Amino acid sequence: LQFRSLNPAQSAKFYYNSAPAHSTFPDKKITLQEAATATLGDAATSNRRTINKFIVPDVLPTCQLTMGLTKLDEGSLWNTMPCHTHERRMEVYFYFDMSEECAVFHMMGQPQQTRHLLVHNEQAVISPSWSIHAGVGTQR
């Protein structure tokens, strides 16, 4: 497996995620076309989006890790709504391909006492299981 920049003047970036596991499975490349998709939300509430699920049991065997990519529809700004928590898992949000002028207001914390983070391109947020999570961008 080799990684190369298409343009030597602009270095390519490689990101990965991982989690401890108690099982092993063979490596597999998953393309966008192979991902399971779900379209959620509503344009009327600015949160119409498609979730491309790459690492989920419907696509390949996995032990502890799941991963997806959310793409907002034109005119939508919320990445998840309603905000919610997960009893047994944390989530990491990694924001990328954002213009310099764009920002995301990421809300997290206990439902009765939230905190708000101002997030920019190529920044991540770790949301623990007890924390609500939702984000709204200044641009799509």
55: nearest Cα among 75, 73, 69, 72: 69
Taking the chain, what is the end-to-end CA distance rounded to the nearest angstrom?
33
Backbone angles phi and psi of 119, in degrees to 5: -115, 140
In angstroms, what CA-CA distances link 95 with 13, 80, 123, 135? 14, 13, 6, 10
pLDDT value for 49: 95
Let me know: does 103 contact 120? Beta carbons within 8 Å: yes
Task: Give 80-140's CATH code, choosing from 3.40.50.300, 2.60.120.10, 1.10.3210.10, 1.10.3720.10.
Answer: 2.60.120.10
* Neighbour count for residue 80 (Cβ, 10 Å): 20
pLDDT at 120 (0 to 100): 97
pLDDT in tens, the chain (140 residues): 778 899 989 888 888 888 899 999 999 999 999 999 999 999 999 999 999 999 999 999 999 899 999 999 999 999 888 888 887 788 899 999 999 999 999 999 998 999 999 999 999 999 998 999 999 999 87
Give the pTM.
0.84
Answer positive or negative: Cα dihedral of 84, 85, 86, 91: positive
| Domains in the chain: boundaries | 30-76, 80-140
Distance CA 94, CA 113 (A): 23
Considering just the CA atoms, what is the radius of gyration of the chain in Å? Answer: 16
